[in-house]
Amino acid sequence: MRLENKVALITGAGSGIGLESALLFASEGAQVIIVDVNDTAGKEAVKRIETKGGEAIYVHADVSKGDDCRKMVAAAEQNFGKLNVLFNNAGIMDSGDDNAMATDEDVWERTMAINLKGVFLGCKYGIPALQRAGGGTIINTASFVAFLGAATPQLAYTASKGGVLAMTRELAVIHAREGIRVNALCPGPLRTELLMKFLNTEPKKQRRLVHIPMGRFGEAKEIAKAALFLASDDSSYMTGASLMADGGITAAYVTPE
């Protein structure tokens, strides 16, 4: 049990990476706070965990709102007495996200509010709880696009994930001596509802696939296993790192400095 006696809060846990991580974390002994804006999906995730003998609660929270983030962290401490793992995973990929000329300001603002501000707010209210617990770990979902441009334009998303990566590094440095580790999880293109809705035509999918050395989209379950590594003591000497789980795409296109 790699997360025995640990309490883990996961945002965006109703689907995709968040859901698979919640199920995996619970199977490894964690008590899980499922956070989402989709109440049906969030409650169903709790049922799936409880059916297998795990412990979980659902909290409705919009991560772009400070009061919601404060309440989700409070719920963790009120129900389970502490918080050990904070997984800032919630994010969007708006279908209107394109190049600088075609992307509307409201698409930019909404993407930044959820993908970047949401991570900030999760840390703002989550870090004090980790401090009260005597330390812990934060996982922030970034993306391979934080390292290279996307073949299909998605400027707001790419910029937001670059911000997540920079924030992760600074938080790691600030809190390292407090026993709080902060790492970024950087998935490659995945066969999730989020990406498949964005790559809504076969030519778009093929344009993305051609760049992946493994020649396929990743699965949410595969990224959940990487998240488990960062959440557990197996990664005890890692902080400020970017864990790539991208099918080799950055190895093929990013030149080391």
> pLDDT tens-digit profile of 154-182?
999 999 999 999 999 999 999 999 999 99
The radius of gyration computed from the CA coordinates of the chain, to the nearest angstrom, equals 17
Inform me whether the pLDDT recorded for 196 exceeds 80.
Answer: no
Q: How far apart (Å, rounded) are the C-alpha atoms in residues 26 and 53?
A: 9
237 is catalytic: no
Instruction: Return the pLDDT at 70.
Output: 98
- Average pLDDT of span 145-161: 91
- Average pLDDT of span 137-157: 92
φ, ψ (nearest 5 deg) of residue 242: -120, 110
> pLDDT tens-digit profile of 65-93?
999 999 999 999 999 999 999 999 999 99
Q: Which residues pair with residue 85 across a beta bridge?
A: 8, 137
Instruction: Return the pLDDT at 13.
Output: 98
235's CB contacts (< 8 A; 6+ apart) are 137, 181, 183, 229
CB 143 within 8 A of CB 187: yes
Inform me whether the pLDDT recorded for 256 exceeds 80.
Answer: no
Let me know if domain 7-244 sits in CATH 3.30.230.10: no
Closest CA to 57 of 41, 40, 35: 35
176's CB contacts (< 8 A; 6+ apart) are 239, 240
φ, ψ (nearest 5 deg) of residue 63: -65, -10
Query: Higher-confidence residue: 204 or 107?
Result: 107
Q: How far apart (Å, rounded) are the C-alpha atoms in residues 135 and 115?
A: 25
Confidence tier at 189 by pLDDT (50, 70, 90)? confident
> pLDDT tens-digit profile of 219-254?
999 999 999 999 999 999 999 999 999 999 999 886
> pLDDT tens-digit profile of 35-58?
999 999 999 999 999 999 999 999
CB 158 within 8 A of CB 111: no
Taking each helix axis as running N to C, give the angle between helix 66-80 and helix 117-132, from 0 to 180 degrees, rounded to the nearest 10. Answer: 30
Closest CA to 193 of 2, 17, 1, 9: 17
What does the mean pLDDT of the chain come to?
94
Q: Angle at the Cα of 194 (from 152 to 121), degrees rounded to 5?
A: 105
> Percent of the chain beyond pLDDT 70?
95
Instruction: Catalytic residue, from 58, 125, 157, 237: name it.
Output: 157
Q: Supply the pTM of this predicted model.
A: 0.94
Q: How far is CA 39 from CA 34, 125, 185, 246, in A?
A: 10, 22, 25, 30
Please report, as a single letter, which amino acid is at residue 175: H
